[in-house]
Amino acid sequence: MELREFFIENSEAAIAFSGGVDSAYLLSQAVKYATRVKAYYVKSCFQPEFELEDALRLAEELGAHMEVLELGASVLDEKVASNPPDRCYYCKKKIMGAIKEAAAKDGFGIILDGTNASDDAGDRPGMKALGEMKILSPLRICGLTKDEIRRLSKEKGLFTWDKPAYACLATRIPTGVAISPEILMKVEKAESALMAMGFSDFRVRAFGGGARLQLKESQMADALNKREEIVKALKPFFNEILLDMEAR
C-alpha cells in the first residue's frame, strides 16, 4: 500500500505531530491526499522549545491546521516520574490520550502517528501503547523506512529532511532515577547551549549532579577545543561535566 492509497481509505484523520522527520513527512502527505486532517502537538516538560518552533514552522509551510495541547508537567504522574524501564508506555498513553480526547471533540475517529518501518517494536514500550489505543502508523503500514522518509522529504523540500533524531528529554535520565521538571529544564538548557556552539546530534546525560556529554566522533576535537566554553556554559546546571570518549 502507498500513502496515497492509505489516505483514500482514511480520508479524515488526526495526526500526533512532533515536528520530527517522520511526522513531518506524514503530515505533508496527509495535507496532499486526505480530505480533512489536523495536527496535534502535545507540549510537555519532555519537549524542548525548538521542537515546538519546528512543528509550528512546518505546519505553516504546509498550510496545515495545528493545535498545541498544553500538558506541561502534568505528564509526570507517579508512574512516569518514577522512571521505570517501561516509562515510555505510560507516557505514550498519557500523550495519546490527550490527543484522542481533543481529536474526538473535532470529530476525528482515526489517530495517526509517525512510527516508521525502521522502528523496532520489540525495543519500544511506547509502541505497545499505540497498539492498545488503536493508533495507526501509516509510514510503517506502507513499509517506509527512516532513510526513505529522509530521501522523500528532501525531494519535497521539507526542511526537516536532515533533522537529527531527538528523543524526549526524559531519555537523558537513567532508568530508575526519578524525573523532575527541574532536571529536565537543566538538560534542556545545557543542550541549548551546546547547540548554540554549533554541536548537533548529541546528548547530555544527567547522572547524580553531573552531566555526561555524548557527541559524534566528528565533533570530539571541537569539544576539546571548546572545553572551557562548554564548562562555563554548563556549570550553572551541573557540578561535573564529563565527555564520553565512546562516540554516539
Digit-by-digit pLDDT tens for the chain (248 residues) are 899 999 999 999 999 999 999 999 999 999 999 999 999 999 999 999 999 999 999 999 999 999 999 998 888 899 899 999 999 999 999 999 999 999 999 999 999 999 998 876 655 777 888 888 999 999 999 999 999 999 999 999 999 999 988 889 999 999 999 999 999 999 999 999 999 999 998 999 999 899 999 999 999 999 999 999 999 999 999 999 999 988 87
Helices and strands in the chain: count of H runs, count of E runs: 11, 7
CA distances to 95, 112, 174 from 241, in Å: 32, 40, 16
Contacts of 48 (CB under 8 A, 6+ apart): 166, 169, 188, 191, 192
Strand ranges in the chain using DSSP code E only, listed in sequence order: 12-16, 36-44, 66-72, 111-112, 203-207, 210-214, 240-243
pTM of the model: 0.90
User: Which has the closest alpha carbon to 37: 78, 85, 3?
Assistant: 3
Q: Residue 15 in contact with residue 27, Cβ under 8 Å? A: yes
Q: What is the fold, at CATH topology level, of the domain defined by 3-162?
A: Rossmann fold (3.40.50)
Domain layout of the chain by residue ranges: 3-162, 180-243
Residue position matching grid coordinates 529544564: 185
